[in-house]
Amino acid sequence: MLYYEYTKENQLRKAHNYMYAPYLGGDFINIYFNDRIKNLNRADSIYKKQHDDKVYSYFINKSNKLFSDSLHQDLLNKHYNIDSPEVVLLAEKKIYLSNLAPFNIKNDINTLELLSSLIFNLINDYDEDFVKKWLDLLVQRFEVTKKIYTKYQAGLVKGSGESDKLQLYCLFALSLSLYFVKKNSLKHLSTLLKVSDLLCSIENEVLRRTFSSRMFSLILLFEISIIMTLSKKLKGVDFVFE
């Protein structure tokens, strides 16, 4: 029986290299949808009472607006609780998020700061060239090592610190989603699918204590909706959302 092998084992412990993936027909897309819906349900069940911090709420609310044309409405209604999102005004909360100019490839990079700044700039349409440059450096690092480290040494060649901070993978996935919304870039969608696989491969007890459920749900909803649009009318893909 076919199953979606890319979320079966914790990818932080054993990363998949995705090389020469066998062709399994239209059924493969159906099992992908099933697996992602299962993970959406999982996110619903384990994170109900979690509150996001102000920056995350800001990212989620703004991203949700940018994704709104792409999101599958039935899925959104069923899986994503955004009835009364808290509107966060960064200026009022005195939260400062920088543009990307202060980041310099010659210096060590704090990944949380870089990802936060990337998302802030993507949301606000700032610094397009800088966004692509820094996002592509992270994409390159992730594709080669299948990890995101808390820090990168100057040149962004070598990661240092921890590589199991799910919060960073989640922010990375959000930045890839935002980039796809703006540029329709399949390269970044491909990496997004891999980062989502990694997040979906993590056990409940680890997920529960580490990151934003609403952000995770939003990313999965966005990704599923995009793949659904791309797979419309394809032979053998007959998944129906219930």
Partner 1 sequence: MYLNNIAMIAADTTRSKLYLLELIKKEMRPSYVILLLNKNNDLLPGQQYIKNKNELIELLVENNISFDIAPNCNINSHELVSLISIREEEVFIFSGFGGELLREDMLNSGKKFLHIHGGYLPDYKGSTTNYYSLLTENIIAASSMFLSNEIDSGSVLLRRKFSAPKDRTQIDHIYDSEVRSKVLIETLSKYIKSGIWDFDLKNNEGGEIYYIIHPVLKHLAILGE
Give me the residues that bind partner 1 (CB under 8 A), please: 6, 17-21, 23-26, 28-29, 32, 136, 139-140, 143, 186-187, 189-191, 193-194, 197, 227, 230-231, 234-237
Which residue number, 26 or 161, has a Cβ lying nearer to partner 1?
26
Least distance CB 77 / partner 1 (angstroms): 24
Q: How far is the CB of 236 from partner 1 (least distance, A)?
A: 7
Angle ∠(215,217,219) on CA atoms, nearest 5: 70
Residue 101 or residue 186: which is nearer to partner 1 going by CB? Answer: 186
- Three-state secondary structure call for residue 182: helix
Using the minimum distance from each CB to partner 1, give the nearer residue, 60 or 139: 139
Nearer to partner 1, 62 or 141 (CB): 141
Minimum separation from the CB atom of position 17 to partner 1 (A): 7
3-state secondary structure of 159: strand
Q: Cα(193)–Cα(67) distance, rounded to whole angstroms?
A: 16
Place of tokens 């930045």: 175
Q: Tokens 């994503």 appear where?
A: 80
Nearer to partner 1, 79 or 194 (CB): 194
| Residue 178: Cβ-neighbour burial (10 angstroms; 0-12, 13-18, 19+) | buried
CB 9, min distance to partner 1, A: 15
C-alpha 92/C-alpha 205 separation (Å) is: 35
